[in-house]
Amino acid sequence: MIAADLEHLIQLLARLPGLGPRSARRAVLHLIKKRETLMLPLAESMAKAAEAIVVCSTCGNLDTRDPCGICQDPKRDRKLICVVEEVADLWALERSGAFKGTYHVLGGTLSAIDGRGPEQLHMARLVERVRGRREGEPAVEEVILALSATVDGQTTAHYIGERLADCGARLSRLAHGVPVGGELDYLDDGTLTAALKARRPA
């Protein structure tokens, strides 16, 4: 007989991706042990974020303000838009620190199997950002398609290419190749083939 309050907490935690009933139980016992230093701050931080976080109406990023910090930042290059599937991909690119333009979060890929068409994604908003130049905004010069190297990701990239044809902006995609630090022996054939085709002078 587990106390109802704990049982309820376990059931909610078990719904997080990456946690199941067993790890949720372990997590709850850990939380109870660290009541003051982890459990209460976590509950508070979660309630606060649930209240404060909004979706940026321009790019789809998550932030406490709309437009988001990146869209508002005068140092970011508005002539560059990097199209990603999810906010997680935006975060990954931000961690790399290699991109100084703006983003556009699609909210997924086109998918025949899951029945996701262009109207389920933030596609119209992207086309509008690229084609419909707003007052005081510079024209978009390049759209970088940072989509997954999967069938759905590539279908989506192709579709965006068609929608943005003759829009005046260059379209590009991320390079395929050997991951930095990766061992050739563990790479799949597709990546190896792509890396070989795209070989560069040493």
Residue numbers of the site for a second copy (CB under 8 A)?
1-6, 8-9, 12-13, 15-19, 23, 25-32, 34-35, 38-50, 52-53, 62-64, 68-70, 73, 86-88, 91, 94
Give which of 138, 132, 140 is closest to 170, Cα–Cα: 140
Count of CA atoms in the C-beta half-sphere (13 A) of 184: 5
Asked if 179 and 194 touch (Cβ cutoff 8 Å), the reply is no
CB of 108 to a second copy, least distance (A): 11
Q: Which is nearer to a second copy, 13 or 164 (CB)?
A: 13
ω into 67 cis (within 30 of 0): yes
The residue type found at 52 is A
DSSP class of residue 87? Answer: H
CB of 122 to a second copy, least distance (A): 14
Q: Which is nearer to a second copy, 3 or 202 (CB)?
A: 3
Q: For residue 55, what is the enclosing H or E element?
A: strand 54-55
The residue type found at 39 is M
CB of 70 to a second copy, least distance (A): 6
Q: Which is nearer to a second copy, 41 or 182 (CB)?
A: 41
Q: Which is nearer to a second copy, 86 or 141 (CB)?
A: 86
Residues with Cβ within 8 Å of 47's Cβ and at least 6 positions away in sequence, in order, are: none
Cα–Cα dist 59/189, whole Å: 35
CB of 109 to a second copy, least distance (A): 16
CB of 21 to a second copy, least distance (A): 10
Q: Which is nearer to a second copy, 24 or 164 (CB)?
A: 24
What does residue 35 show for φ and ψ, rounded to 5 degrees?
-60, -50
Q: Which is nearer to a second copy, 99 or 159 (CB)?
A: 99
Find where tokens 């906010």 sit: 87
CB of 107 to a second copy, least distance (A): 10
